[in-house]
Amino acid sequence: MQDLLNAATLGSIYLLFALGMALVWGTIGILNFAHGATFMFSAFVGHMVSRETELPFLGVIVIAVLTGAVISSLTMLLAFQPILKRSKNQHAAEMRILIGGIGVAAIPLALAQRETRSSPFGFKSSYKPEVFEVLGLRITTTSAIIIVTGLVMGIGLTLWLRRSRQGLALRAIGVDAETAAGMGVNRTALAFGTMAVAGALAGLAGALLTFQLGAIAPETGDQLVIKAFAVIVLGGLGSMAGTVIGAYVLAGAETFVVSMNWGTWVDAVSFGLIFLILLARPQGLLGRKEVRRT
Amino acid sequence: MRKALLAGLAMATVLGTAACGSDDGGDSGAAGDGGIASTIKIAQVQDQTGTVAYAGLGASEGAELAIDEIQEQGFLGDDVKIDLEKYDTAGEIERASSEMSKAMGDRDVSAILGPVSTQQAATVSPLVGRQKVPTVFTQAGGEGVVTNDYTFRVTPPMESYYASVMDFLEEEGVKTVSVLYNATFPTFAVLGEDDVPALAEERGMEIVQSLPVQMTTQDFSGQAQQIAKEDADALVMLLIAPQSVTALGQLKDAGYENQIVATSVQAAGNIEAAGDNANGLVYPVPFSVAMEDETSDAFSKAFQAKFDEEPTPYAADGYDAMWWIARAIKSSGDSSREGIREGLAKIAAEGYSGAMGEVTFDGNDARIAGSLVRWEDGKETLVK
């Protein structure tokens, strides 16, 4: 049971991180490799502010969420939007956006590395996590917050995309951007909004993960980008519900490997599992057979 | 006609290269004709950015302090200037290789401070032997680094002084030990799989649990609960800096409250982010501001005066490396590459007192007794 609880915490961390990436990639077609740097730099700004003045839990969260939204919007404005304008079509823009994202990511990474000398950083906060023991299971308040937040955000975003007007418009862009624009969908405004929401999610994940781990390093985001990429592909590109399931499947596989004391095989086993699933179902767990983003 | 032109071009290139590589009248330090040049160029090929930038940047500061002292004292002659040129390896093996080639290709470079990571250092070590440029490595504690007459290491390998940690555990009455180690970090893999089990067995301790993790592991809740469940008398934790911070918090959350010992990676304030969770952590260091030797204390004070902050073990590495090179030049009376190599070997045979205290050598590889420190409320204190 304790392993299930650990898997739920880890899965929620992967989910919070992957949600923003999945939202942007699955709707406006941008595979944003700067998402990891946005995540890290949001936490880094929280660290810098909390170094000057001790902040409560929510104070750190708000700063990180706002920072993430601002960085992500700026990335759209200064990097992706110009690339999209200069490219003949979405397909031509994809590779340029991917490289552009890697380039953008290098800037906050270098800034944080320079400032911290690549040492780990955390928050000076009045929040002190407590440990609860229920039926022999140990859980911290941070883990509980992460599990609840992960599930709420995952299910909420899935429902919003399926049921709200804006969600429908976003999905329409994912299916056929030209037709959607012809039907009156404001692509540019929706793209900026989506990037801002994704950045805010990255900031939220950055702050929560830093509280959970005690500290992160400037490179932490880079490692999570690979996991998020795997989660999205495993769940099925375009399916938010698939992303939710993919995050918990990956975390479950990793937790199982750790519980068997095969610590050095975590990546090999979990990514091997993904490979096997994709052999049987190339579109991912909840992806559609037809290659369409919805 | 075309052939003649190509031949002429080739000849001009060769002559041009020769001219670039020649000494301009004995002012350079790499001529190899004996004597001490008025300007001695030392290359520092270490991480100035990237994941282990703290080691390279710290070594830079230590080396700069040593150069100030060497020049102020007129240690190599009143007008002798040491020029430190930095090359950034940025945490990449390929870049370390290309930057080393660049530094070695500069005939004015007399000696090199080599890369800090074992992977980078082991890759460039054969190049150093082939190009015959004396290279002093700092950190880079794994095997395959000190492999030929031109490779030297100023930082003692961690396993050479880790016995002090196991002695401490024995004195504390520890009988059972858990080991949590990063198996993809060469130094920790050797310690976790070979040295710690052997040292424990010699002292009658039992390794009851050995948990390997990989470099990308960020969450340790599973391992922490396994460790808490086993409840061994002590935990040997061999993790990189961010991993240690997380593991300490999650071990506490899991209810593990026994003694934890770690490594010098936790020094230099790297464990500060763990807050109260790190209190009581014991680890061995080649250098600490808590050290009381005369030379260590003098280094700490001089560093504090120059940089207005406390020195790290990485700064001590750079400081000792630069002073070792200076002593080598003085000893051989020759600032050429070959002169420095001879001098470094000669000084290594004698040993010296530096920021790390009394340093002896096994061949070209430094050895120290090592100091054991305890982290308490943001400060290191010596474990007596």
ipTM of model: 0.80
Is the model's pLDDT at A152 over the cut of 70?
yes
Q: B54 contacts in A (CB within 8 Å)? A: 117-119
pLDDT band at A282 (very low <50, low <70, confident <90, very high): confident
**Over pLDDT 90: what percentage of chain B?**
72
Kindly state whether A214 is in contact with chain B, defined as any CB-CB distance less than 8 angstroms.
Answer: yes
pLDDT band at A289 (very low <50, low <70, confident <90, very high): low
First to last CA, chain A: 36
Cβ within 8 Å, pair A9-B219: yes
Helix A240-259 vs helix A141-163: angle between axes, to the nearest 10 degrees?
A: 150
Q: Which of A41-45, B176-180, B215-219 has the lowest mean pLDDT?
A: B215-219
Is the model's pLDDT at B222 over the cut of 80?
yes
Kindly state whether A151 is in contact with chain B, defined as any CB-CB distance less than 8 angstroms.
Answer: no
Cα of A109 to nearest chain B Cα, Å: 9
Is the model's pLDDT at B20 over the cut of 50?
no
Residue A57: the pLDDT is 94
User: What number is the average pLDDT over the span B84-91?
Assistant: 93
Residues A128 and A70: their CA atoms lie apart, in Å, by 28
Q: B57 contacts in A (CB within 8 Å)? A: 117
Kindly state whether B267 is in contact with chain A, defined as any CB-CB distance less than 8 angstroms.
Answer: no
Q: A213 contacts in B (CB within 8 Å)? A: 218-219, 242, 245-246, 249
Residues B161 and B369: their CA atoms lie apart, in Å, by 6
Nearest to A30 by CA among A220, A175, A194: A194
User: What number is the average pLDDT over the span A253-278?
Assistant: 84
Q: What is the mean pLDDT of chain A?
A: 88
Cβ atoms of A220 and A14 within 8 Å: the answer is: no
User: What number is the average pLDDT over the span B309-338?
Assistant: 95
Q: Where are the alpha helices (DSSP H) in chain B?
A: 2-21, 53-73, 93-105, 118-131, 158-161, 163-171, 186-190, 196-202, 221-230, 241-254, 294-307, 313-332, 337-350
Residue B145: the pLDDT is 94
Six token digits for residue B229: 């469940």
Residue B6: the pLDDT is 47
Strand order in the sheet with B352-354: B81-88, B39-46, B109-114, B135-137, B151-153, B365-367, B357-362, B352-354
Is the model's pLDDT at B19 over the cut of 70?
no
Kindly state whether B48 is in contact with chain A, defined as any CB-CB distance less than 8 angstroms.
Answer: no
Six token digits for residue A129: 């996590």
Residues A191 and A41: their CA atoms lie apart, in Å, by 22
pLDDT band at B354 (very low <50, low <70, confident <90, very high): very high
DSSP labels, B139-199: S--STTSS-STTEEESSPPHHHHTHHHHHHHHHTT--EEEEEEETTSHHHHHIIIIIHHHH
Residue A272: the pLDDT is 86
Considering A280-289, B29-38, B46-55, the range whose residues carry the highest mean pLDDT is B46-55
- Amino acid residing at A131: V
User: What number is the average pLDDT over the span A173-195?
Assistant: 79
Residues A106 and A78: their CA atoms lie apart, in Å, by 15
Residue B10: the pLDDT is 46
pLDDT band at B169 (very low <50, low <70, confident <90, very high): very high
Residues A175 and A193: their CA atoms lie apart, in Å, by 18
Residues B100 and B364: their CA atoms lie apart, in Å, by 20
**pLDDT (tens digit, 9 = 90+) per residue, B287-322?**
999 898 899 999 999 999 999 999 999 999 999 999
Kindly state whether B89 is in contact with chain A, defined as any CB-CB distance less than 8 angstroms.
Answer: no
User: What number is the average pLDDT over the span B340-346?
Assistant: 97
User: What number is the average pLDDT over the span A189-208?
Assistant: 93
Q: Which of A222-231, B118-127, B200-209, B295-304 has the lowest mean pLDDT?
A: A222-231
Q: B90 contacts in A (CB within 8 Å)? A: none
Q: A117 contacts in B (CB within 8 Å)? A: 53-54, 57-58
Residues A124 and A214: their CA atoms lie apart, in Å, by 10
pLDDT band at B216 (very low <50, low <70, confident <90, very high): confident
Is the model's pLDDT at B28 over the cut of 50?
no
Nearest to A36 by CA among A229, A182, A208: A229
Is the model's pLDDT at A103 over the cut of 80?
yes
Residue B14: the pLDDT is 40
Return the residue in A119, A142, A261 with the most chain B beta carbons within 10 A, the one to mutate for interface testing: A119
Return the residue in A213, A222, A257 with the most chain B beta carbons within 10 A, the one to mutate for interface testing: A213
Kindly state whether A12 is in contact with chain B, defined as any CB-CB distance less than 8 angstroms.
Answer: no
B353 Cβ contact list (under 8 Å, min separation 6) = B293, B294, B295, B359
The DSSP letter of residue A118 is T
User: What number is the average pLDDT over the span A282-290?
Assistant: 73
Cβ within 8 Å, pair B50-A2: no
Residues B120 and A89: their CA atoms lie apart, in Å, by 43
pLDDT band at B71 (very low <50, low <70, confident <90, very high): very high
User: What number is the average pLDDT over the span A242-253?
Assistant: 91
User: What number is the average pLDDT over the span B81-85?
Assistant: 96
pLDDT band at B207 (very low <50, low <70, confident <90, very high): very high
Q: B278 forms bridges with which residues in the sheet?
A: none
Is the model's pLDDT at A24 over the cut of 70?
yes
Cβ within 8 Å, pair B274-A213: no
- CB interface of B with A, residues 208-247, below 8 Å: 211-214, 216-219, 221-223, 225-226, 241-242, 245-246
Cβ within 8 Å, pair A9-B213: no
**pLDDT (tens digit, 9 = 90+) per residue, A25-74?**
888 888 999 999 999 999 999 999 998 988 999 999 999 999 999 999 99
What does pTM read for this prediction? 0.80
Is the model's pLDDT at B74 over the cut of 50?
yes
User: What number is the average pLDDT over the span B320-344?
Assistant: 96
Is the model's pLDDT at B376 over the cut of 70?
yes
User: What number is the average pLDDT over the span B140-155?
Assistant: 92
**pLDDT (tens digit, 9 = 90+) per residue, B92-101?**
899 999 999 9
B265 Cβ contact list (under 8 Å, min separation 6) = B239, B240, B241, B244
Is the model's pLDDT at B30 over the cut of 70?
no
**pLDDT (tens digit, 9 = 90+) per residue, B258-292?**
999 999 888 877 888 888 899 999 999 999 998 98
**pLDDT (tens digit, 9 = 90+) per residue, B225-242?**
999 999 999 999 999 888
Kindly state whether B333 is in contact with chain A, defined as any CB-CB distance less than 8 angstroms.
Answer: no
**pLDDT (tens digit, 9 = 90+) per residue, A116-134?**
888 889 998 889 888 888 8
B358 Cβ contact list (under 8 Å, min separation 6) = B293, B351, B368, B369
CA-nearest residue of chain A to B54? A117
A77 Cβ contact list (under 8 Å, min separation 6) = A192
Higher-pLDDT residue of B180 and B10 is B180
The H or E element that residue B374 is part of is: strand B371-376
Q: Which of B219, B255, B277 sits opposite A10 (nearest CB)?
A: B219
Q: Are strands B234-238 and B176-182 parallel, antiparallel or unpaired?
A: parallel
Residues B158 and B334: their CA atoms lie apart, in Å, by 33
DSSP 3-state of A161: helix
